């Protein structure tokens, strides 16, 4: 509800108040998360910073959480989620010598299933959140438990049964915590986050006084001041074998935050991939040509991107001022990172007229290996013909796509598999418009009853040839949509470029793909892997997930054949199953991508204007194809002219092993850091080959520190053999000879 500059002032006031209160109240302990807040105090208020440092040294003012900000955890990509911990933990280590063992996310809107492994890989082991108590349909069955992520990592987790992250120490609140604690009887300890949030200010003298009265009051739970670390140590010791919850921690609320403020979400996605490219090409150029690796610039830009992943900025639930600033910031970031990428690539290519294609995606593309540059490949053209009855047909020998006179995809035929993708009697590329009047929080929520009313946007102003593709124009309300559907030579992928000039209010726009696939579950990409959700609604838990998050793809399959829908910037989606009523047996599984909303609060102009999206329908896709196509649509080729081809700095010989980062080590040692994971959900053996002479290899945590318990990989010169469990994340530090 305020711009970032006001947050700087709020943090200064809060820290000044809390250091004063600590001097007056000898039992009081104050914890503050988000390294960004601490950095602002250091930068802007050195006199307050001196008092804070003294209180930290005394053990009274506690850095908590070990993240740059309390970020959203659904939408940030793999590397961004890792860097939240890298930059947050490193700040507290460098400033105070404090290692955070806890992740501290009281208000974040649900937790992706890849997060436990990231917490562990950062050297942490505990998680606190309160927000899941806000779920509207199902009450979570535990307050203290172990949370298991997609790779099997388990994190000791606590939800405060006080049911608020703004506890004021009232007797009624403490009594509620004692009554509500689902694990009482086997566990005796819970945590009550105390103080004013939603604007800050911290703990008050009245709260401290109330806590003192509850220190030993007959009939009440005992209240003591402890650091987060002290609480977790004791809670885990008394309850070493709590119940286990497997998979995502889905918040049955605030589902619209996956869609609101599309340009903020696009800015985040684009920035994440530009940072990957900048690190990759700058590292390659530094080793090959002596190009100056931009340590300080990359550090600053990463922190800016991480700041904007705060759980009210990236989710789109801030005032217009915040999102206007975010758009300008993302534009500056894109310009600066593009400059770094261009300079590094030109240093690598040299001066010349040979056309080169740089491929930063983690898979070979058109013969160009990941992280390399080659002369561009050429291919046959896609045939486009008129369709009987109106419309057009695109055919490249692998996929035959029929687009009818309405501009809808009525067939996507996989020639090799002899298999139709689109459900009988249905049409894909169907834009659907819903009224959107959530019961409570406009920008935050979409309620299930929005589905009760829908308008299929089937009227077309124009369906016409456009190069090798088909151009479609539609008008509705005060808005206009222009699409280009294209089928590249040699690719089993229909690309949909969509431009929406959006001028609706309180509407929800979806893009539907009804598929002829019988699947009881589907996969959606999350950090360092993918997570399966049911397509049915057998229970209230499944029914509540009527809007969910994916990163670059969703994937459905029957044994031996599947379909992926990939995207370049959208997150929200829904997947439903319907029984056919036209006499054809079977079910239709419909994937719908959430494009745009138009809430009035807190930004009455949310998403007004022009937006551009790219999606692709990939028939015949296995999970590996979904992973690869998701990367390709997000990391396009770059073409420049130069004198020489560029060999990759690092290669991996397994499609199942995806490299998410190639960079120089943060300590300016010149070591090369490579982070990768198993992406298909099975076990993998792979050989990583360095394009430079390697003197040694170390397995590290996310902060690039050696892991003593991890055996050194087998190495034969520059060839390094690795074995990975399903979705296992690994970071290697390669010392150059």
Measured distance CA(707)–CA(701) in Å, rounded: 6
- 733 phi-psi bin (left φ>0, alpha ψ -120 to 50, beta other): beta
Measured distance CA(167)–CA(27) in Å, rounded: 18
Q: Is 233 helix (H, G, I), strand (E, B) or coil?
A: helix
Q: Tokens at residue 548, please?
A: 């969910």
Q: What is the CA radius of gyration of the chain?
A: 26
Measured distance CA(349)–CA(204) in Å, rounded: 61
* Catalytic residue check, 107: yes
Q: Tokens at residue 442, please?
A: 């406009």
Q: Residue 565, Cα to own-chain centre: how many angstroms?
A: 17
> Exposure of 325 by Cβ count < 10 A (0-12 exposed, 13-18 middle, 19+ buried)?
middle
Catalytic residue among 101, 107, 299, 603: 107
Measured distance CA(168)–CA(22) in Å, rounded: 17
Measured distance CA(652)–CA(165) in Å, rounded: 45
- 600 phi-psi bin (left φ>0, alpha ψ -120 to 50, beta other): alpha
Got the DSSP string for 81-132? HHHHHHHHHHHHHHHH-----EEE-TT-S-B-TTHHHHHHHTT--EEE--GG
- Alpha-carbon torsion 257, 258, 259, 262, what sign? positive
| C-alpha separations of 625 from 578, 592, 645 in Å | 26, 20, 27
Q: Residue 247, Cα to own-chain centre: how many angstroms?
A: 16
CB 206 within 8 A of CB 212: no
CB 67 within 8 A of CB 84: yes
Q: Which residues are catalytic?
A: 107
């Amino acid at each position: 509800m305020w711009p970032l500059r006001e947050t700087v002032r709020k943090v200064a006031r809060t820290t000044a108040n809390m250091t004063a209160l600590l001097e007056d109240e000898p039992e009081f302990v104050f914890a503050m998360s988000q390294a960004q807040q601490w950095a602002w105090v250091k930068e802007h208020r050195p006199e307050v910073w001196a008092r804070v440092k003294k209180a930290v040294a005394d053990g009274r003012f506690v850095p908590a959480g070990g993240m740059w900000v309390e970020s959203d955890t659904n939408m940030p990509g793999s590397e961004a989620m890792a860097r939240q911990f890298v930059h947050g933990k490193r700040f507290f280590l460098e400033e105070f010598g404090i290692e955070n063992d806890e992740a501290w996310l009281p208000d974040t809107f649900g937790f992706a299933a890849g997060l436990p492994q990231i917490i562990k890989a950062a050297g942490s082991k505990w998680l606190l959140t309160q927000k899941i108590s806000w779920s509207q349909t199902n009450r979570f069955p535990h307050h203290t438990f172990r949370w298991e992520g997609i790779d099997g990592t388990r994190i000791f987790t606590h939800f405060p049964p006080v049911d608020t992250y703004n506890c004021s120490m009232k007797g009624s609140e403490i009594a509620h915590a004692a009554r509500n604690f689902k694990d009482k009887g086997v566990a005796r300890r819970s945590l009550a986050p105390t103080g004013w949030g939603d604007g800050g200010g911290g703990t008050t003298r009245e709260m401290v006084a109330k806590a003192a009265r509850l220190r030993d009051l007959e009939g009440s739970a005992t209240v003591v001041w402890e650091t987060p670390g002290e609480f977790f140590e004791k809670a885990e010791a008394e309850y070493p074998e709590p119940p286990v919850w497997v998979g995502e921690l889905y918040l049955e609320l605030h589902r619209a935050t996956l869609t609101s403020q599309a340009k903020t979400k696009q800015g985040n996605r684009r920035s994440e991939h530009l940072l990957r490219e900048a690190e990759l090409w700058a590292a390659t150029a530094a080793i090959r040509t002596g190009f100056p690796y931009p340590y300080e610039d990359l550090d600053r830009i990463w922190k800016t991107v991480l700041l904007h992943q705060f759980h009210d900025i990236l989710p789109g639930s801030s005032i217009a001022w915040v999102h206007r600033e975010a758009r300008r910031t993302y534009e500056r970031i894109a310009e600066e990172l593009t400059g770094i990428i261009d300079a590094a690539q030109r240093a690598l290519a040299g001066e010349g007229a040979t056309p080169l294609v740089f491929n930063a995606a983690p898979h070979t593309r058109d013969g160009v290996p990941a992280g390399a540059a080659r002369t561009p490949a050429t291919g046959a053209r896609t045939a486009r013909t008129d369709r009987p009855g109106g419309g057009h047909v695109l055919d490249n020998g692998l996929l035959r796509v029929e687009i009818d006179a309405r501009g809808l995809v009525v067939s996507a035929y996989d020639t090799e598999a002899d298999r139709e993708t689109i459900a009988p009697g249905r049409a894909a590329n169907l834009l659907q418009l819903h009224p959107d009047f959530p019961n409570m929080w406009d920008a935050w929520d979409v309620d299930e009853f929005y589905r009760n009313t829908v308008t299929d946007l089937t009227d077309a102003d124009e369906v016409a040839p456009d190069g090798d593709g088909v151009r479609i124009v539609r008008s509705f309300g005060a808005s206009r949509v222009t699409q280009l559907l294209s089928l590249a030579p040699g690719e089993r992928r229909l690309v949909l470029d969509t431009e929406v000039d959006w001028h609706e209010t309180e509407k929800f726009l979806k893009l539907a793909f009804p598929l002829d696939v019988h699947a009881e579950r589907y996969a959606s990409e999350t950090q360092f892997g993918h997570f399966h959700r049911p397509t049915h609604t057998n229970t209230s838990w499944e029914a509540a997930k009527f809007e969910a998050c994916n990163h670059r793809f969703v994937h459905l399959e029957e044994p031996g054949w599947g379909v992926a829908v990939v995207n370049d910037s959208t997150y929200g989606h829904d997947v439903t199953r319907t029984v056919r009523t036209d006499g054809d047996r079977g079910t239709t599984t419909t994937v719908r991508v959430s494009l745009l909303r138009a809430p009035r609060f807190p930004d009455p102009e949310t998403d007004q204007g022009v937006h551009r999206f790219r999606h692709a329908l990939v028939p015949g896709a296995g999970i590996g194809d979904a992973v690869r196509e998701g990367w390709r649509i997000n990391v396009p080729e770059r073409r420049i002219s130069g004198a020489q081809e560029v060999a990759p700095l690092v290669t991996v010989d397994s499609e199942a092993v995806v490299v998410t980062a190639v960079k120089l080590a943060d300590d300016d040692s010149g070591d090369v850091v490579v982070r990768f994971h198993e992406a298909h959900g099975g076990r993998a053996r792979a050989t990583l080959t360095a394009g430079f002479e390697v003197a040694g290899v170390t397995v590290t945590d996310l902060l690039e520190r050696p892991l003593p318990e991890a055996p050194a990989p087998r190495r034969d010169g520059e060839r390094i053999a690795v074995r990975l469990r399903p979705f296992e994340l690994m970071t290697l530090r390669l010392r150059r000879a």
